[in-house]
Structure 1
Amino acid sequence: MIIEKVELINDGFKVIINEDIIQFKWSEIEKLTGFKVDRLTVDDICLKIETNNKTAFATEEFEGWRNFIDRVLIEFPLIDKNWEEIIAKPAFERNESELYNRGKNVG
């Protein structure tokens, strides 16, 4: 059985895939990119998380996704609250969107 979850902690979060755990502080996030992956019959909304020295991915299928995304929207208030819906259309296309970039100050 594969374990995939994102877990909130005091000053950040952990992305857990089986035995691999990558821990992030909110303050170290450099870039967040939302995109969609075609899984044949359904699409999977994904988030790429980047700092200066680590990268991780989380998807809507991860345990804890909704709590995590709710917190992301609090920590990065310039991100469009409807980004998941925007990325969802049209179906079966990647639809990548940079949600946050510390260097560009985009939202």
Structure 2
Amino acid sequence: MLWRKKVNDKVELTESGFLITCDEDISEFNWNEIDKLIGFKIDRFTIDGICLKIESEDKIAFITEESEGWRNFMNELLKIFPEIEKNWEAIIAKPAFERKETELYCRTRNVH
């Protein structure tokens, strides 16, 4: 059996965006630099985990529903990007154990 180190990650809101901390690595994003947001699930054998991939021109980061600060971040994200379906997490949750990758936002499609 493979054992993976537990990743201590969190997302924190800032005045103009957010910070994602994963162990020792910190990525800083401003809301206006977000190019793409992709929601998806990962199969964790007995349950699924909801994840978000965040892309800008020069960086990519991932957070999950288990990330510290997830709910505060999601509340702010939905205010900043009102075109994102409010219940996207519930929508991609079914059917179970399928990745169901969904583009939530794309700058080239959503003129902001």
Structures share fold, TM-score greater than 0.5: yes
1:33 aligns with 2:38: yes
Report the 3-state secondary structure (helix = DSSP H, G, I; strand = E; otherwise coil) of the residue aligned with 2:92.
helix
1:14 maps to 2:57: no
2:80 to 56, 75, 82: 75
The alignment's C-alpha RMSD in Å is 1.1
Calculate percent identity across the aligned residue pairs: 60
Write the distance in 2 (CA, Å) between the matches of 1:78 and 1:42. 28
1:15-59 Cα distance to aligned partner (Å, 9 max, x none) = 110100000000000000000000101100000000011000000
Q: What is the distance in 1 between the residues matched to 2:109 and 2:32?
A: 16
Shift of 1:97: 0.3
How many pairs are equivalent?
106
What does 1:57-76 correspond to in 2, within 5 Å? 57-76=62-81
SS in 2 for 1:85: helix
Q: Deviations over 1:49-94 (max 9, x none)?
A: 0001100000000000000001000000000001000000000000
**Gap regions ≥5 residues in structure 1:** none
Give the unaligned 5+ runs of structure 2: 1-5
What's the TM-score, normalizing by structure 1?
0.96
Aligned-residue offset at 1:2: 3.5
